[in-house]
Amino acid sequence: MARQPRTIRVPLHACSIAALTAAAAVVGTAAPALADTGYSVATETSGGNGFTGVSVTRGELAPTHQNCDGAHPLYQSEWVADPASEFSGPFVELGTARFCGGSTNPSQSHWYWGHGFSGTGVFTYLGTEAIGSGSHTFLMDRDTSGNYYYKIAGSVVAEYHWNLSFDYVQAGLESHDFYASDGFTPTVEQSLFYAGLQDERNASGTFVDWSGRDANTVAPNIGGTGPMEGGWWSDTAWLPCENVTC
């Protein structure tokens, strides 16, 4: 289930207050969509729709050979989403943005959270934070009043009222730099890749494990015409890679 290419999520600090006000804080419109867009993403659809949350435990990539023009980020992301054909594809998103410099350049790389419409390319930042070290659980869930909560390591970083449930949940790597090298070595770095994949339905407050390895998007891939690679490690763990075999 391929995602629709979107505009780059521009860090809040990269935009002026005037520009943010003029654009109603829809800072995702500040940069054009790029031709270089690749995905290594796992998808859960089992049991129909009604998704209101997703949870992933993962570490942070340290990409090399990354383009340093500031316009080719990598996103370690998770989504609760609908197809672009359905109301232009609304989604909520939580993850890590990696710009050139990786963990040595925290002024550009950051954790982020927000919402958008994949059919239009619009993404609205709700906030950013400096990337922490080690592995963390990234979780989004909705309460019965229609409030989505964005959580990192158990702490709520944002709340947004959007009384929607969605058709599927996803987690993985979105790349806008086909020269970057990043990924995980399964036998050495199991604490880094996407593990503990769980979802919530119907604002129940209960998370359950993914099951069935329902779908994935790895494109363009190493064996075909591009750099993306990835695979299931288990029903609840996904390994995303780029320009390395994982």
Residue of 14, 125, 123, 117 lying closest to 71 (CA atoms): 14
Decide which of 155 and 233 is more confident. Answer: 155
Of the candidate ranges 30-39, 81-90, 147-156, the one whose mean pLDDT is the lowest: 30-39
State residue 60's pLDDT score: 87
Which of 3-17, 181-195, 230-244 has the least mean pLDDT?
3-17
Specify the pLDDT at position 236. Answer: 95
- 177/174 Cα distance (integer angstroms): 9
pTM of the model: 0.83
Domain ranges of the chain: 12-242
Q: Distance (Å, rounded) from C-alpha 205 to C-alpha 209?
A: 14
Structure tokens at 42: 């796992």
Instruction: Assess whether pLDDT exceeds 90 at residue 202.
Output: yes
Question: How far is the C-alpha of 103 from the C-alpha of 62, rounded, in Å?
Answer: 7
- Chain centroid, CA 138 distance in Å: 10
181 DSSP β-pair partners: 64
> Token pair for residue 221?
């891939």
Among 172, 225, 210, 141, CA closest to 2: 172
101 falls in which pLDDT band (50, 70, 90)? Answer: low
State how far the Cα of 228 lies from the Cα of 131, in Å rounded to an integer. 24
Would you state the pLDDT for residue 124?
92
Query: In CATH, what number does 12-242 get?
Result: 2.60.120
| Residue position matching structure tokens 């049991």 | 47
Report which residue type is found at 176.
H
Q: What is the average pLDDT value for the chain, to the nearest integer?
A: 79
Per the structure block, which two tokens stand in for 84?
């672009």
pLDDT surpassing 90 at residue 109:
no
Is a pLDDT exceeding 50 seen at residue 229? yes
Res 171 pLDDT > 80? yes
At 28-83, the pLDDT tens digits run 333 334 457 889 999 999 888 899 999 999 988 777 777 777 778 889 999 999 98
